[in-house]
Structure formats: structure tokens, C-alpha cells
Amino acid sequence: MRSIFNILAVLLVAISLVAASNVIDLNEKNFDELIVNSGKPSLVEFYASWCGHCKNLAPIYDELADIYAGKKKNNVQIAKIDADKYRKIGKRFKIEGFPTLKFFDGKGGEPIDYDKGRNLDHFQEFINDKVGIRAGLVKPRAPQSAVKFVNDIDFKEVVLDTDKDVLVAFTANWCGHCKNLAPAYEKLAHVYDGEEDVVIAKFDTTGPAGELTPNEYQIASYPTIKFFPKGSAEPIDYQFGRSVEDFVLFINKQAGKHRTIDGGLDEKAGVSDKFDSILAKLKDGNASSIVNEAKRLSESSSEKFASYYAKVVEKTANVGEAYLVKEIARLDNIIKKGNLVKEKLDQFVIRKNILSDVKAKIEAAEQTIKDEL
């Protein structure tokens, strides 16, 4: 009977965490009906799915929508449209960067550019000025946790029967050391939230369905931290420091990752030594033969970025090292702007790392030739 109540408690907690957004999603078909000729004042965000600044704005924009959703008599709408996907709309309203925000009166008039700060106070000041209303602040939402919370019910599915590496902290709600660990552990989870095969999990032994698993693994003190390699029921005890840096060093080594403590990637991410012999021939070898060799190697390789190595080899063989210099500079410029979502940023960093690796190995081969003369 107790297990049934535990399951119900977990389900109720999960349901309570789901919050529907009050932001209206737009497209090319409904834009005029819901915004331009709606008869309702609307603030519209023109965004792109890959835009980092748009991602940063999202939680604030959700809160803004919550505020005005509670004031139905004012009919203020908070809406958004993917102007990169719906380019006709983007072109129509001359959207040149993301996010761009515009205010529509709902009566067919030309929109007004939003030109204030991107926080709740400034948004409300702008809207209130346009429509002559007052809107009170709602309590800010708690930041979404990147830690995966598990218990007896889902431990096997999340930790054991998976193709992911999982770090699990067994904690108790009365434990002072566990509370001290929480901020660093949350930061750690955000470091790896871009890695599909790494999970940072927490097991509250004093929570619902929190007894069986700790007993099975003989958890006697808190916090106890264990690392479960992919598909293994035999964990590795974590016995190192409890700073974010300590955790990152451990997980990188165990899971073969290249994360930095700020969530980025180091200069070795994506780099392979499988193409070294091919790269050494690029300077003076037969271009066609080298390109074919690189393609064959990429097709037989299980490494994730082998095909990109082959592409770089082909471009370098046909265009020369100038291609590497130009492409590295281009990617470096994009990375430094810092307006990319994490997944896209990772892709660009890895590409830059591979280009830099190819360039360095060609230069090393050239130096070897010079030394031998």
C-alpha cells in the first residue's frame, strides 16, 4: 500500500512542475488574424530557434505573459514568432536581428519598435505607456534545475538500463553537507546539460520511494556520490573534491568528455589522431589520392566527426591552407559574439578545433621536412 502512495506522490510532484506558457505562438497563417487585426494590443518577439539571446529572454518573456494573462480586461497579448522559420513575416516587418520586439495596436496600424531593456520592469513600463494600464509583478519562477531527480521507482530505468553515464548523489533533506553541495551540483548539471549521454542525478533518500536503492548500495552517510558507467550496475565511488572543477575533471575522464567548468568545450573536443598520416601528406601529396583516402577512412570510422575531417581534408587539398586560416577566423568571430544556443556553439567550437588540428599537423609535417633537408 505504501508503494502505491509513493507512486502517487511522485506523479503529483511531476504534474505540479509542468507549467503551460501564456505566450502565444504565431505563424504566417494566423499572424494577421491574431495580431495585426485582432483588436488587441500585442507585444511580439521575432526570434530564431538557434539564437542564444532569444533563449536567455524566454523565461522573462514567459513571466511577462503570466502578468498580462491575469488581466483579461486589458486584452494585452504577449506573443512570439520564429522569424527565421517564417521568413515572409520577418521580411515583411524588416527583421534583421534576433530577438526583435515590436508592439502592435491590433487595429491594422504600423508596429512600434520596442527600445527598452529586456527585463520585467522595462517591458511593463513600455506596455503600460502604450495602453494606459498598470500590471503588478508576479513572483519570479525558480530557475529550472538541470539535475535529474530519481527514486526507487525510476532508478533502474534512468541509471542502470541506459546508454548514458550517470553521476548520482545520494542525499538526505536534514543533511548540512548535502545542502552545501547543492549549488555546486546544480552548476555541474548545467555544465553537462548539452551532453545527451551524461546525466547528473540526485537521489533524496528521505523523499518518496527513497529507501530500497540506498539499502541495495549500502549508503551509510550523506552525501554519498557514485558514478554509474553506461550499462553497468557496478558504480565507481566518487572520492574527490566537491567543487565544480573537481567534478568536471572526474566526469571528463570517466565519460571521455571535454567540458570546461563554464559549460563550454576545451580545445581537444572533437579532435582525432586517426587522420594524422593523411594530414602529413597534404602539403606535397597527390590531392585526389589523399581526398579519396580521407573519405574511405571517414566512412569506416565510428568517430562522430570523421566526416568533417574528410571535408576539411578535401577543401585544404583543393584550395590550400588559406582555407584553414580563413575558416578558423570566421568561426572564431562567430564564437566570440556569444549569441548561440549551447548545441550550436558546441558545433562551431568542435569545427574550429578540427580545423586548428589540421593546420597544426600540416605545419608540423612541413617542419619535419625542413629539418630533414
Instruction: Give catalytic residue positions.
Output: 51, 54, 175, 178
Q: What angle do CA 255, 299, 368 make, to 5 degrees?
A: 80
Distance of CA 11 to the CA centre of its chain: 26
Three cell numbers, residue 264: 563550454
String of b and e for 270-297 (b: at least 16 CB within 10 Å)?
bbbeebeebbbbbeeeeeeebbebbbeb
Sign of the four-CA dihedral 192, 193, 199, 204: positive
Upper half-sphere CA count for residue 297 (Cβ side, 13 Å) = 22
Distance of alpha carbon 347 from alpha carbon 51, whole angstroms:
14
Is the CB of residue 185 less than 8 Å from the CB of residue 200? yes
Do the bridges between strand 24-25 and strand 77-82 make them parallel or antiparallel, or are there none, so unpaired? parallel
User: Phi first, then psi: what are they for 324, rounded to 5°?
Assistant: -60, -45
Positive or negative: CA dihedral 115, 119, 125, 128: positive
